Amino acid sequence: MPESTRLTPVAVMILATLREADMHTYELVRLLRERKDDRLVPLQKGTIYHTVARLERDGLLAEAGVDREGNRPERTTYTLLDAGRRAVEEWVRTELPQIERSTDFRVALSEAHNLERDDVVALLDRRRALLVASAHEHRTGLDGAAHRGVPEQFMVEVQRQAALLDAELAWQDALRARLADGSLAWGPDEIPEHFTKERVSKETTP
């Protein structure tokens, strides 16, 4: 019943962040903004509070107690459930091979390190097929339009898309190669441990 409703990119970011440590909602907001994750998706407070509530309702995360610091309003700390952990992985697996909805893909790429190297390579291969097909479709569309005498000014956006698809393909092939030959460190096992500790503590205890 949980993974029936599709996750939003914001939801994925929240779950992925909770993977690192339990925290309360306001801290999520701060942390995500500090890390500039709003460069991918606009992170409004309202949205984040709503999303956390939904995720709790759907059993992907749960309250882990209420604490109050000093005299401030008490705040509810949340923890990631197993279902949540799995949901992130599944979402990445779904979105990583996609080519449309590019912000979903960017988020998926940002969270791809939650998956194993081989997994990612396979997903990128599927994506590659779509990229090639789409580039081809754009080219034939442009040719057809040219033949039918469609003025070029109406095709400018399509031309751009074709150009960017080429660039994307080149970039992705380079990434895939580095993943396949092992020259790019990947996954939790290959994170230098000094960095693992640093990650959360640095921002949560300023």
Partner DNA sequence: AGGCGTATAGTCCATGTGGACTAGTCGAGA
Partner DNA sequence: TCTCGACTAGTCCACATGGACTATACGCCT
The phi, psi pair for 191, rounded to 5°, reads -90, 125
Q: Compute the least distance from the CB of residue 48 to DNA, in Å.
A: 8
What residue 46 binds from its own copies, DNA, none (CB within 5 to 8 A, per partner kind)?
Answer: DNA
Question: Total binding residues for DNA by CB under 7 A?
Answer: 28
Selected from 46, 82, 167, 189, the binder of its own copies by CB under 8 A is 167
Burial per residue of 97-122, b for 16 or more beta-carbon CB atoms within 10 angstroms, e otherwise:
bebeeeebbebbbbbbbbbebebbbe
Residues 16 and 31: beta-carbon distance below 8 Å: no
Selected from 68, 73, 147, 156, the binder of its own copies by CB under 8 A is 156
Residues 40 and 107: beta-carbon distance below 8 Å: yes
Separation between Cα atoms, residue 63 and residue 31, nearest integer Å: 19
Cβ proximity to its own copies: between 48 and 124 the closer is 124
Separation between Cα atoms, residue 7 and residue 179, nearest integer Å: 27
- 12: part of which helix (H) or strand (E)? helix 9-18
Q: Compute the least distance from the CB of residue 40 to DNA, in Å.
A: 12
Separation between Cα atoms, residue 53 and residue 43, nearest integer Å: 16
Selected from 66, 146, 150, 177, the binder of its own copies by CB under 8 A is 150
Helices 9-18 and 82-95 pack at an angle, to 10 degrees, of 130
The reply on whether position 9 binds DNA by CB under 7 A is yes
- Rounded (5°) CA angle 176-179-185: 145
What residue 98 binds from its own copies, DNA, none (CB within 5 to 8 A, per partner kind)?
Answer: none
The reply on whether position 17 binds DNA by CB under 7 A is no
Selected from 1, 36, 73, 183, the binder of DNA by CB under 7 A is 73
| Span from 18-26, 62-70, 87-95, 144-152 in contact with its own copies (CB under 8 A) | 144-152
Selected from 2, 22, 75, 175, the binder of DNA by CB under 7 A is 75
Cβ proximity to DNA: between 12 and 162 the closer is 12
Amino acid identity, residue 141?
Answer: G
Nearest to 167 by CA among 86, 102, 71: 102
Nearest to 111 by CA among 186, 181, 51: 186
Q: Compute the least distance from the CB of residue 53 to DNA, in Å.
A: 7
Selected from 149, 181, 189, 205, the binder of its own copies by CB under 8 A is 149
Contacts with DNA, residue ranges (CB under 7 A)? 5, 8-11, 24-27, 30, 42-47, 49-51, 54, 69-76
